[in-house]
Amino acid sequence: MSKILVFGHRNPDSDAIGAAIGLARLEAALGADTEAVALGHPSRETAFALDHFGLDAPRVIERAAPSEVMLVDHNERQQSVADLDEVTILKVIDHHRVANFETTAPLYMRVEPVGCTCSILTRMYAENGVDIPPDTAGIMLSAIISDTLLLNSPTTTDADRIAAEELATIAGVDLADYGNRLLRAGTALGDDAASTIITRDAKSFTMGSSTVRVAQLTTVDSGEVLDRRDEFLTAMRAEQQSAGYDLYLLLITDVIACDSDLMVVGEPVDAVERALGVTVVDGHAFGKGIVSRKKQIVPQLTEILAGQE
């Protein structure tokens, strides 16, 4: 029997990779033969965290069959491995909505409304009486910092705060100092083309009859990104047309100000305006206090688009 593969969503962020490592190691401690893998290469932020705690990046897969699998940080099929229909899903640990998901066999599914999957996993280690190794604690902490913008996002719960403090102690780092260094590492644009940058953290959603792509880019200098607005909009239009998305949104989140600029291509733009309470002019809008794709964009836009059917 091949190893049980544990992985997060496509275009993995720190939670997708951190949670895969965390769950794979927990299951191994409980006697399962597991391997953490990924559906893409780590982002700059995640690479910083892996290097800081001396961890290797999980190997990248395109297909999972014939292995059994466990999913973390996602459940929607369009965000998962290409051959998900061909494998047996044993577990799902997630903190997002449940959509476009069904299985032919019973499974363990744990979905909680917290800021990060790794906050759930921190409790799972305690519930099973398994100690968290320092390097595992470090990458799981990095996921919580990333997903909650160092506990400043509206998605942050007391469970995230408690887990972050516990993991920071185990990992031997100062939460605030390490958190700021991690977030800054993830905001560097480098010399990458806009077409590459918009794929770093992007997810596809079915909203009513519409297919919507929502990418997010964190930054400490939104002006640096907005100076390249035309380049980003061109790249978004090209991907929207090639992939057939109805709408493509890019959330440019300032991790210091905790606000976001929003770039929009496709239709219906008025749905975005009504859902988010913004005005889109020439493909751009400003979202005061909007920092969370999961809590402040996807539910509101889904409600509007589903209601138009």
Lowest-confidence region among 60-64, 116-120, 188-192, 195-199 = 188-192
> Do 177 and 281 fall within a single domain?
no
pLDDT, position 222: 85
Of 164, 187, 210, which residue constitutes the final position of a domain? Answer: 187
Q: How confident is the model over 82-111, as pLDDT tens digits?
A: 999 999 999 999 999 999 899 989 999 999
> Do 221 and 278 fall within a single domain?
yes
CATH number of the domain that residue 199 is part of: 3.10.310.20
Residues 6+ apart with CB under 8 A from 142: 14, 18, 45, 46, 49, 52, 53, 182
Q: How confident is the model over 35-57, as pLDDT tens digits?
A: 999 999 999 899 999 999 999 99
Number of domains in the chain: 2
Q: Kindly write down the DSSP assignment for every residue of 117-184, as one continuous string.
A: HHHHHHHHHHHTT-PPPHHHHHHHHHHHHHHHTTTTSTT--HHHHHHHHHHHHHHT--HHHHHHHHHH
pLDDT, position 163: 98
> Do 221 and 287 fall within a single domain?
yes
Residue type, 162: I
> Do 163 and 245 fall within a single domain?
no
pLDDT, position 191: 77
Global pTM reads 0.82
> Do 259 and 301 fall within a single domain?
yes
Task: Tell me what the pLDDT averaged over the chain comes to.
Answer: 94
**Residue 294 belongs to domain spanning:** 194-307
Q: How far apart are CA 24 and CA 7, in angstroms?
A: 9
Residue type, 171: A
Nearest 5°: phi and psi at 127?
-65, -30
Angle between the 117-127 and 14-29 helix axes, to the nearest 10 degrees? 10
pLDDT, position 38: 98
Contact between 261 and 211 under an 8 Å Cβ cutoff? The reply is no
Render the burial of 85-121: b for 16+ CB within 10 Å, e for the rest: eebebbbbbbbbbeeebeeeeeeeeeeeebbbbbbbb
Q: Kindly write down the DSSP assignment for every residue of 79-99, as one continuous string.
A: GS-TTGGGS-EEEEEESS---
Three-state DSSP state, 257: coil
Q: How confident is the model over 127-160, as pLDDT tens digits?
A: 999 999 999 999 999 999 999 999 989 899 999 9
CATH number of the domain that residue 38 is part of: 3.90.1640.10
pLDDT at 309 over 60: no
Residue 259 belongs to what H/E stretch?
A: strand 259-266
pLDDT, position 127: 98
Q: How confident is the model over 222-248, as pLDDT tens digits?
A: 888 899 999 999 999 999 999 999 999
Average pLDDT for residues 282-286, to the nearest whole number? Answer: 95
> Do 15 and 154 fall within a single domain?
yes
pLDDT, position 308: 65
> Do 100 and 128 fall within a single domain?
yes
Of 149, 169, 187, which residue constitutes the final position of a domain? Answer: 187
pLDDT, position 1: 62
Tokens 């964009």 — which residue? 297
> Do 91 and 119 fall within a single domain?
yes
